[in-house]
Structure 1
Amino acid sequence: MKLRRRGQSNHSQFELNASSVTAWANKLPRANLAESSKQLYKTLDELSNLDCSFRQRLETLEALRPSIHLILQGLQPRYLNASIVLPEKTAAVVRLCNRFNNYLADNYRQAVEDILSHSWTSRFRQSLALAVHRELTERSVLLLRSYLLYQSEQPNCWEQLHRCYQISRKHKLNPIRVDDPCHGSCTVEQAYLRPMLFVGAHPYQMSQQAQLTLHETLHQLSSNARIQTSDPRKCCFIFNPQGNQPPIYQELCEDSEGFLGINTSDLIEVISEQVRGGKNDDNKLPPQLSSKLLEAWSSISDREDRHAERRNLELTVGLSSTHFFVAGEQPLEAISQPLSYDNGDRKGRSSPATKTHPQKSTLSTNPVEEIDYSEPQKQNKKNKSNINRHFTVETVNVSRRGYYIAWPATESTQLRTGEVLGLREGDAPCWSVGCVRWIKKHSEEELQVGIEILSHAAESYVARLLDQEQPTYRALLLGAESTLGTPSRLLLPNISMSEGSELVLTQPAGSFCLQLKQQLSSTRDFAVYEYDAIVKENDEGLVQEDSANEEFSELWESL
Structure 2
Amino acid sequence: MEFACHMSNFSLPLLLRAPTPAQSSLTFCEANPRDLKRWISRLPKANLGEMARQLYQGLTELSQLITPSENRLQLLELLRPEVYFVCKHLERHFLNQAIVLDERPRKVANLCQALQNHLATGYKQIIQQVAARYTKDQAGLFSTALQRALHGLNGPLIRANQLYCPVQEGLWLELHQIYQIARQYQLHNTPVDEPLAHHTKALSVEQTYVIALLMGCSRCNQMRQLNIGKLADALEAWSPLVRLQSPAGEHSLFALDPTVDKPPLYSTLFSDEQSSRLLGINTHSLAEAINQYLALPDDQRSPSRLLIPTGINTDLLQHLAAAWGDVAERTFQRTAGQGTLKLCIGMSALHFYVAGQKSFSELLQLNSTSSAANFSLKIANDDEDDPWASAFDTQRGKSSSVLLPYEEIEYPKNDGDNDSLSNGQHTFPTFDLNIVNHSPGGYCLAWQKEVPQQLQAGELVGIQDDSGQGWSIAIVRWVRQVRSGGTQMGIELIAPFAQPCGMQLIREQQNSQYLRTLMLPEVRAMEKPPTVLAPRLPFQEGNKVMINVGGEERRASLSNRRISSASYNQFEYQIYNAPKAAESEKAKPGQEFDSLWGTL
Tell me if both proteins adopt one fold, taking TM over 0.5 as the criterion. yes
Does residue 111 of the first structure (1) align with residue 138 of the second (2)?
A: no
Match of 1:157 in 2: 171
Counterparts in 2 of 1:181 and 1:446: CA distance versus 1, 3 Å:
same
**Letter aligned with residue 288 of structure 2:** E
Matches of 1:115 and 1:162, distance apart in 2 = 18
Q: Give a deviation string over 1:505-532, Cα, whole Å, max 9, x none.
A: xxxxxxxxxxxxxxxxxxxxxxxxxxxx
1:71 to 81, 86, 98: 86
Alignment of 1:131-150 (within 5 A): 131-150=145-164
2:283 to 264, 279, 282: 264
Matches of 2:212 and 2:263, distance apart in 1 = 9
Q: Give a deviation string over 1:112-133, Cα, whole Å, max 9, x none.
A: 111112x124121111111111
Does residue 388 of the first structure (1) align with residue 456 of the second (2)?
A: no
Matches of 1:272 and 1:44, distance apart in 2 = 44
Does residue 120 of the first structure (1) align with residue 100 of the second (2)?
A: no
So what's the TM-score if we normalise by structure 2?
0.55
Alignment of 1:427-442 (within 5 A): 428-429=456-457
* Contact preservation (8 Å) 1:186, 1:220: no
Aligned positions, number: 368
Matches of 1:90 and 1:183, distance apart in 2 = 27
1:42 to 54, 57, 61: 57
**Letter aligned with residue 55 of structure 2:** L
Alignment of 1:310-459 (within 5 A): 319=340, 321=342, 388=431, 404=441, 420=445, 428-429=456-457, 456-459=478-481
Q: Provide structure 1 residue ranges, at least 5 long, that are not aligned to the other structure.
A: 308-316, 330-383, 391-400, 406-417, 440-444, 464-474, 481-559
Aligned-CA RMSD value:
4.0
Matches of 1:94 and 1:447, distance apart in 2 = 37
Match of 1:62 in 2: 77
Matches of 1:419 and 1:289, distance apart in 2 = 23
Match of 1:167 in 2: 181
Does residue 9 of the first structure (1) align with residue 9 of the second (2)?
A: no
Q: Give a deviation string over 1:387-436, Cα, whole Å, max 9, x none.
A: 6379xxxxxxxxxx97759xxxxxxxxxxxx9958899x99447799999
Q: Give a deviation string over 1:430-479, Cα, whole Å, max 9, x none.
A: 77999999x9xxxxx99999x999x8214499x9xxxxxxxxxxx74448
Match of 1:30 in 2: 45
Q: What's the secondary structure of 1:262's corresponding residue?
A: strand
Counterparts in 2 of 1:448 and 1:52: CA distance versus 1, 3 Å:
closer
- Bigger relative contact order, structure 1 or 2 (CA pairs below 8 A, ≥6 apart): 1
Counterparts in 2 of 1:122 and 1:477: CA distance versus 1, 3 Å:
same
Q: Give a deviation string over 1:274-311, Cα, whole Å, max 9, x none.
A: 212354155353211110011000221xx69769xxxx
Alignment of 1:216-295 (within 5 A): 216-255=233-272, 256-257=274-275, 258-277=277-296, 279-280=301-302, 283-284=308-309, 285-295=312-322
Does residue 299 of the first structure (1) align with residue 314 of the second (2)?
A: no
Identity percentage of aligned residues? 26
* Contact preservation (8 Å) 2:242, 2:286: yes
1:19: how far off? 2.7
1:70: how far off? 0.7
Matches of 1:107 and 1:421, distance apart in 2 = 39
2:228 to 211, 226, 237: 211
Q: Give a deviation string over 1:257-282, Cα, whole Å, max 9, x none.
A: 31121011111122122212354155
* Contact preservation (8 Å) 2:81, 2:196: yes
Matches of 1:92 and 1:100, distance apart in 2 = 12
Matches of 1:121 and 1:434, distance apart in 2 = 63
Q: Give a deviation string over 1:118-159, Cα, whole Å, max 9, x none.
A: x12412111111111111111111011111111111001111
* Contact preservation (8 Å) 1:436, 1:452: no
Q: What's the secondary structure of 2:137's corresponding residue?
A: coil
**Letter aligned with residue 163 of structure 1:** Q
1:99: how far off? 0.8
Match of 2:66 in 1: 51
Q: What's the secondary structure of 1:94's corresponding residue?
A: helix
Q: What's the secondary structure of 1:123's corresponding residue?
A: helix
So what's the TM-score if we normalise by structure 1?
0.58
Work out which of the two has the higher radius of gyration on C-alpha atoms and give 1 or 2.
2
